[in-house]
Amino acid sequence: MASFTYAQPEALNIMTFNIRLATTDDGYNYWKNRTELVRSMIQYHEAEIVGLQEAMKVQLDDLAKMLPDYEWFGLCRTDGTTNPNPDNEFSAILYKKDRFERLDGATFWLSETPEKPGSKSWDAAITRIVTWAKFRDKQSGKEFFHFNTHFDHVGTKAREESAKIILEKMAEIAGDAPIVLTGDFNCNETETPYRVITDKNDKRHLQDAMLVSKMPHHGPLSTWSGFSFPGVPGRRIDFIFVKNKVEVLKHAILSDSWSGRFPSDHLPVISRLVIF
């Protein structure tokens, strides 16, 4: 495998970030009080592609205004539209439009009928989706696929089956091309969905970016904050996975806070990657 320096110019920064939906039930942590914190995290850490979870249309609209260098792609999980009524969650992909050209992309549902908008199966509490995009890096000319998801928070069977569906669909859509998978998987590295995704006995498996990073991991070892603690122990549930000609240079879980305030109830994860 080729050797790279951490400052390699064609490297790119990919983030996964559950930004917490916009609900007034959060009181002081309502979206309008966190908007600038989320923008700052993305912009300061120079994330060039961000897999977002729990992003409602109103939140995507706010991010589009604050981050005019970015575009987003995806469909709402409830109805498969870009303008749901009532508003609901997207697993959208946010990307820098001056660096990346989106060549293709779609959304599928984590159910027994993946092409049916709003579908759910097994013991899932709500509908769950995967958004994917095929990108060309204008800087290097390399092409790769980014898949972004949010697994169910209740259904253990649903999470296991979702992991199986993702492996199947990635093989079908991306083949042997470089792949990055981001998401909130609502499970940690000891649980079945993670083991399904990383099972080396399955030729379709992916690697946990934290474990293959050339530079040692930076930050806490957990991604759940609950708006109060930077990485509640044992709760690494947000991951970046890679496969097929993707080199991981750095990996971090970002615990930035503003006088004890966090931008979300999840901590974002960021990796610096090289596609070769």
CA separation (Å) from 9 to 97, 136, 229, 245?
17, 16, 35, 17
Quick: pLDDT tens for 251-267: 999 999 999 999 999 99
Quick: pLDDT tens for 67-105: 999 999 999 999 999 999 999 999 999 999 999 999 999
The pLDDT of residue 1: 45
Domain annotation covers residue 172: yes
Q: How far apart are CA 121 and CA 162, in angstroms?
A: 10
Residue 179 and residue 244 in contact, taking contact as beta carbons nearer than 8 Å:
yes
Quick: pLDDT tens for 173-201: 999 999 999 999 999 999 999 999 999 99
Domain annotation covers residue 1: no
Domain annotation covers residue 7: no
Sequence-separated (6 or more) residues with CB below 8 Å from residue 93: 49, 50, 51, 52, 72, 73, 74, 105, 131, 132, 133, 146, 148
Domain annotation covers residue 5: no
Quick: pLDDT tens for 3-57: 556 667 799 999 999 999 999 999 999 999 999 999 999 999 999 999 999 999 9
Domain annotation covers residue 3: no
Sequence-separated (6 or more) residues with CB below 8 Å from residue 165: 110, 114, 130
Segments forming the whole domain that contains residue 134: 12-275
The pLDDT of residue 5: 65
Domain annotation covers residue 2: no
The tally of CA atoms less than 13 A away on the side-chain side of residue 275 is 20
Residue 167 and residue 130 in contact, taking contact as beta carbons nearer than 8 Å:
no
The pLDDT of residue 8: 79
Helices (H), 4-135: 35-44, 57-66
Domain annotation covers residue 177: yes
Number of domains in the chain: 1
Quick: pLDDT tens for 48-67: 999 999 999 999 999 999 99
Mean pLDDT within 114-138: 98
Domain annotation covers residue 173: yes
CATH number, domain of 229, equals 3.60.10.10
